[in-house]
Structure 1
Amino acid sequence: MVGRRADGYHELHTLMVPLTVGDTLDIAPAPGLSLRVEGADLPADGRNLVYRAARAYLDAAGVTQGAAITLHKRLPLASGLGGGSSDAATTLLALARLYPCGVDLPALALTLGADVPFFLPGGAALASGVGEVLQPVDLPPVPLVLLNPGVEVSAADAYRWLAGRFTSPLDLEALLAALASGEPVPYFNALQPEVVRRHPPIAGALAALQGAGLHSPLMSGSGSTCFALARSEAQAQEAARQLAARFPGWWVAAASTRSQAPRG
């Protein structure tokens, strides 16, 4: 977080990376628009970002038909992983295939959320502005483990708690060099200190990842999910197994960065 704009939004400088874990969506043509949610107690109407994305695309495209959508929620809620934004972007992409109409998807995505455009092209990107200015980054597959201590963190609260404590931009060159060499990665999360101070279980998750033999633990986004890097996929799988046994009430997953975002 490098500053705050006159319109109240925060000026970002952050590395965003799609992962090999996420929610899934089933989308099929239908006479009207409907949404069903499995795996979480979420609204299935205009309060849901997937529904709003679908409605926005159908209206922008002037389509009289609709879609029957089922969201299989696999990521924890309010966890800093961009699950809702990814689901919204995937909905836009799927409907653009079903009903091609030349809609400006990035512009439409931005009306739904600052980080929704990131999930359209796929691949890692250095994000600036409010998250909509994307510079592609060539990032190799990196195995990692995700750990969520069962705490929901409001992104609005996390930004409010930042209270003007801004940071310098990421040193992308040093970050990529560390990833290539397997050394500890010099990244940071400006939101992490205040979120952790208010939610101590997140500190426990960071310590648990480090204790499992992983390196460079960090909170993802506005929290509460944390991640740490592994030397290999086998190490990530074993660490995830150990953490799941140690913290049966927490969400844990072995994953890796991916060159393309999921498409449904």
Structure 2
Amino acid sequence: MGSALRVFAPAKINLGLSVLGIVPRGEPHAGYHRLHTLMVPLDVGDTLSVAPAGTLTLEVRGADLPTDDRNLVYRAARAYLDAAGLDGGAHIVLEKRLPLAAGLGGGSSDAAGTLLALARLRPAGVDLERLAVQLGADVPFFLTPGAALVEGIGERRTPVALQPLHLVLLNPGTAVSAADAYRWLDDAGTFTPPLDVGAVRMAQVVGLPLPYLNALQPGVTARHPEIAEALSALAGAGLHSALMSGSGSTCFALAASRAQAEEAASALQQDRPDWWVRAASSV
């Protein structure tokens, strides 16, 4: 086995998430949801260690997850090796630090990190963008650094310059299936217009609450009241612009500084020791 390459797989938040509708029949990606979302990577996340090996093997630490093709990391590695036409495989160690099914893009980030690591270890001119879209809507975002406006089914990204963000992440321990969250939205038929990214950026500049929305939040909180409780707890901790990230169940709210975020996170963790709480900043 060759030397291992370590890769940080950052979490993300959705600084606003609008679902415009469903791609109609006859068009590419028919049946998928058309998104308009501002995604921001954070300085908290998982870690991958990837090394060349004779076969493809995956080891997971920190979570009880499958290590075969039911795992997105394994599927990403298999997709890269097959597309590259390479003999042999890789040994991958995934260290999970993010909660599962939490709206932070953990699995998608892990998959993108796997693609990037293999492209460095075993370069072969593979189209990583194409593989990423096939693996999941959030995976392409993690191929490039920085915040971006993400459109389509996740395949279109436009870099967005934002001021540094400091925030608190709060997860009440509830796993929410993204498929369920989108199905509840479909049942309600409450699709939403595109985000006003300019208004979000201006509010950040002048220090006002951010005028954003998460189209999935009403359906999820209606079925998981503990998520509404998490949003209230963040607001009660002196933070602003509380929102559910992605399909939940992690919520976040913004702080004026990293110090305020850390102080609020510490107080929230003391009040709710069973919840997952982290101070974080954008990267």
Give TM-score scaled by structure 2 length.
Answer: 0.90
Name the CA distance, whole Å, in 2 between partners of 1:83 and 1:179.
Answer: 26
**Structure 2 residues without counterparts, runs of 5 or longer:** 1-18, 25-29
Residue 29 of structure 1, CA deviation: 1.2
* Per-residue Cα deviation, 1:3-57 (whole angstroms, up to 9, x for no partner): 1111211111110111110111111111111100011110000000000000110
Name the CA distance, whole Å, in 1 between partners of 2:68 and 2:163.
Answer: 38
Q: 1:2 is matched by which residue type in structure 2?
A: L
Find the counterpart in structure 1 of residue 84 from structure 2. 61
Question: What is the percentage of aligned positions where both structures have the same residue?
Answer: 69
1:112 to 2:129 alignment: no
Find the counterpart in structure 2 of residue 3 from structure 1. 21
Aligned ranges 1:104-253 → 2 under 5 Å: 104-163=127-186, 164-253=189-278
Name the CA distance, whole Å, in 2 between partners of 1:14 and 1:104.
Answer: 24
What SS does the aligned partner of 1:21 have? strand
Q: 2:78 is matched by which residue type in structure 1?
A: R
Name the CA distance, whole Å, in 2 between partners of 1:85 and 1:95.
Answer: 16
Residue 183 of structure 1, CA deviation: 1.0
Name the CA distance, whole Å, in 2 between partners of 1:91 and 1:75.
Answer: 16
Find the counterpart in structure 2 of residue 261 from structure 1. none
**Structure 1 residues without counterparts, runs of 5 or longer:** 259-264
- Paired residues of 2:177 and 2:247 also in contact (CA < 8 A): yes
Count of aligned residue pairs for this structure pair: 258
Residue 140 of structure 1, CA deviation: 2.2
Looking at secondary structure, tell me which structure has more strand per residue. Answer: 2
Name the CA distance, whole Å, in 1 between partners of 2:196 and 2:180.
Answer: 27
Q: 1:214 is matched by which residue type in structure 2?
A: L
- Paired residues of 2:133 and 2:154 also in contact (CA < 8 A): no
Name the CA distance, whole Å, in 1 between partners of 2:276 and 2:206.
Answer: 29
Name the CA distance, whole Å, in 2 between partners of 1:56 and 1:44.
Answer: 15
* Per-residue Cα deviation, 1:63-98 (whole angstroms, up to 9, x for no partner): 112111110011110000100000000000000000
Name the CA distance, whole Å, in 1 between partners of 2:134 and 2:35.
Answer: 17
Find the counterpart in structure 2 of residue 100 from structure 1. 123
RMSD, matched Cα: 0.7
Q: 2:110 aligns with which of 59, 78, 87?
A: 87
Over 2 Å off, 4+ runs? none
Q: 1:14 is matched by which residue type in structure 2?
A: T
What SS does the aligned partner of 1:213 have? coil
Q: 2:147 is matched by which residue type in structure 1?
A: A
Residue 102 of structure 1, CA deviation: 0.5
